[in-house]
């Protein structure tokens, strides 16, 4: 039976997430602000949790209707067959988000939805579930727009960007699904040498190694949908078996991460080992080195740089030396990396000017609450030429 779902993702990655879901077999894929709606059988949502590198969470839509008052929210819960989703012995949590809702109190809206669910289960079964705000068995999300309430069941549990390998986040860590989104936007493929000149805890290149090896990010974790009534354990086992069979840890790749801090590089190496990439470190397909980005050297004659360099909001106090450093990095790229392309994520719109490079593309993205640009530079040897006027 076809069901409706919504995949949440960082803003700016909706299009690449939509492409990813299509490859998994989803239908009616609709990118929207902050995520992607899609349809398919429950097994498609299982596969999205298992394979999606870009989604933050997968939600199953179980109810939708118009509303004007808090009572209408209660009424909406009465239309859902909660007895087919959960048992009253399981714990419950309800969260509400809204955009342009006419209701004055989202807290009261949440209470009405929660009351509707537990009252309906008590009416049908004679028992009611307990509320657990910290570690519930079943989590319900309600989204209110100006006239419609949509009820979802969380299919993921812990956020999907938590791959389970991070030993130490380091300073200003980049979430794994945003790193995967940067790689997708750059059109990087495993055949292309990849360098991250500001690798931090190694997120970008570790994610790239997992992509190259076709390692599903959700293979070694549990998900909330496994606790739902009607969970198809046979279908889930088949999906995981096929995913394991598709892993290729012997794939050729050239991946390098560097950072000025020896301590940070050691953290990146530890993370790579926890991610199961010891053999990649041993044979040099994945390398981490302590190198100042202003002195970086390429690992091949051509390739792709994908980096998240430091910018003001990432550290306190704001470093006045960052623009000077990035100017020197730009010079180094022109001197040593001609024939490569470079992609930099930053909240500083002046980055191209600081680096004395002309961007050939820029994509609006959000790193958490920070509005950022993902700049692409085609690197050629030669001196600085004045930048053309930006469209922004």
Domain boundaries along the sequence of the chain: 3-154, 176-215+249-378
* Domain covering 176-215+249-378, topology: Rossmann fold (3.40.50)
Q: What angle do CA 231, 234, 236 make, to 5 degrees?
A: 70
In angstroms, rounded to a whole number, what is the distance separating the alpha carbons of residues 203 and 273?
12
Spell out, as residue ranges, where the chain has pLDDT lower than 50. Answer: 313-319, 384, 386-392
In angstroms, rounded to a whole number, what is the distance separating the alpha carbons of residues 221 and 297?
38
Confidence (pLDDT) at 387: 46
Confidence (pLDDT) at 312: 60
Q: Alpha carbon 376 to chain centroid distance?
A: 20
Size of the chain in residues: 392
pLDDT for 78-91, tens place per residue? Answer: 999 999 999 999 99
Confidence (pLDDT) at 386: 45
What is the DSSP secondary structure assignment for residue 320, as one 8-state letter?
T
For 92, the 3-state DSSP assignment is strand
Confidence (pLDDT) at 384: 46
Confidence (pLDDT) at 167: 72
Note the pTM of the prediction, 2 decimals: 0.92
* Domain covering 3-154, topology: VC0802-like (3.30.2130)
Q: Do domains 3-154 and 176-215+249-378 have the same CATH topology?
A: no
Helix (H) or strand (E) segment spanning residue 57: strand 57-66
Confidence (pLDDT) at 391: 39
């Amino acid at each position: 039976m076809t069901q409706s779902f919504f995949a949440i993702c960082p803003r700016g990655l909706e299009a690449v997430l939509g492409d990813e879901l299509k490859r998994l077999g989803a239908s009616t894929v609709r990118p929207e602000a902050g995520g992607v709606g899609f349809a398919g059988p429950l097994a498609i949502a299982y596969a999205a949790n298992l394979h999606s590198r870009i989604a933050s969470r997968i939600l199953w839509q179980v109810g939708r209707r118009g509303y004007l008052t808090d009572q209408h929210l209660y009424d909406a819960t009465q239309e859902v067959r909660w007895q087919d989703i959960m048992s009253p012995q399981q714990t419950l949590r309800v969260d509400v988000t809204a955009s342009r809702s006419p209701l004055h109190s989202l807290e009261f809206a949440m209470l009405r939805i929660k009351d509707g669910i537990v009252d309906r289960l008590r009416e049908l079964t004679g028992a009611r579930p307990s509320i657990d705000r910290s570690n519930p068995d079943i989590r319900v999300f309600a989204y209110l727009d100006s006239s419609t309430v949509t009820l979802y069941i969380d299919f993921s549990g812990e956020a999907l960007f938590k791959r389970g390998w991070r030993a130490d986040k380091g300073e200003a860590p980049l979430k794994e699904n945003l790193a995967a989104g940067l790689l997708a936007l750059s059109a990087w493929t495993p055949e292309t040498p990849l360098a991250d000149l500001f690798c931090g805890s190694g997120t970008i290149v570790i994610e790239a190694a997992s992509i190259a090896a076709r390692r599903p990010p959700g293979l070694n974790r549990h998900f909330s949908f496994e606790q739902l009534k009607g969970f198809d354990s046979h279908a889930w086992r088949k999906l995981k078996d096929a995913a394991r069979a598709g892993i290729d840890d012997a794939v050729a790749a050239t991946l390098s991460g560097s950072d000025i801090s020896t301590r940070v590089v050691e953290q990146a190496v530890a993370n790579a080992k926890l991610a199961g990439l010891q053999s990649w470190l041993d044979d040099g397909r994945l390398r981490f080195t302590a190198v100042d980005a202003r002195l970086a050297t390429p690992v091949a004659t051509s390739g792709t740089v994908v980096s998240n360099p430091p910018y003001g909001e990432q550290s306190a106090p704001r470093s006045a030396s960052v623009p000077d450093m990035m100017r020197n990095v730009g010079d180094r790229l022109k001197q040593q990396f001609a024939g490569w392309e470079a992609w930099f994520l930053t909240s500083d719109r002046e980055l191209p000017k600081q680096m004395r490079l002309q961007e050939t593309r820029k994509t609006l993205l959000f790193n958490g609450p920070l509005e950022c640009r993902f700049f692409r530079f085609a690197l050629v040897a030669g001196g600085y030429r004045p930048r053309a006027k930006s469209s922004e």
